[in-house]
Structure 1
Amino acid sequence: MKKILIVEDHADIRKLIRMTLEFDNYEIHEAADGVSGLKAAQDVKPDLVLMDVMMPGELDGLQVCQRIKADPEIKHIPVVLLTARGQVKDREAGMAAGTTAYLVKPFSPLQLIDTIEQLLATA
């Protein structure tokens, strides 16, 4: 069973993503901020991370992505950034942080599932 970590500060968005993925055979883990998201990635070692970019607290999604990609134990994990920021400079910042894919909110559940299936198929 593939493990997916959802790192998102809005509980309703976490719930929506979890409900979207419940129909597939995934083990879902959640974190509500960047610091707990990074710790969960290190502890759980998920097959994929779905992460919001803008989160309150010490670490935002870009910083967590950079730290995941800098950690030899978990750098292979694909990170999908989920954000309301769709400008070219925002995408470039995501790519510079090491993201594997970039989905702009609002995204469709189908788009999310397609992205996850493609990434897990190549992992």
Structure 2
Amino acid sequence: MTPRNSPSILIIEDDDQLQGLYQDLFTQVGYVVTLADSAQSGLQSARDTHPDFIILDIMLPGGQNGFDVLEQLKRDPQLKSIPVLVITNLDHQRDIALTIGAVDCLVKTDITPTDIMAKIKSYLPISSPTPSSG
């Protein structure tokens, strides 16, 4: 199990396959991952866990989208400093996300999980585990 003092990432994504892919990838390198599948659960998780980084999908179920979540995060004094990486299907949404306060916006069709990992590591470095000397 990953220790809690490891950097934490909240993934707000309603696609189960992407959630699983991201979770596996990020936990393997040492991040603590929390998952949320809607705007409401994502905001609640952010308030409950105060993650070090958020990955946010734009298209979410339940009446609110990722832009709504991003606006609420950036208005909250406790959460506004958390870097948010927006992931979208539509290239034209990039400028909107950046204007609202995302640190970056990536288009799903143009990226690989490795691209996302590199972007996260640029904002949230993690050290490689070292063998313990006995």
Aligned length: 119
Corresponding position: 1:32 with 2:22: no
SS of the residue corresponding to residue 124 of structure 2 reads helix
Tell me what 1:74 maps to. Answer: 79
Q: Structure 2 unaligned segments of length 5 or more: list them.
A: 1-5, 126-134
Judge conservation of contact 1:3–1:27 (CA < 8 Å) in 2: yes
Select 1:9's aligned residue among 11, 14, 17.
14
Q: Structure 1 unaligned segments of length 5 or more: list them.
A: none
Corresponding position: 1:113 with 2:117: yes
Tell me what 2:101 maps to. Answer: 98
SS of the residue corresponding to residue 28 of structure 2 reads coil
TM-score normalized by structure 1? 0.92
User: Which structure is larger by alpha-carbon Rg, 1 or 2?
Assistant: 2
| Distance in 1, Cα, partners of 2:8 & 2:63 | 25
Q: How large is the RMSD of aligned CA atoms in angstroms?
A: 1.0
1:29 CA displacement: 0.1
TM-score normalized by structure 2? 0.85
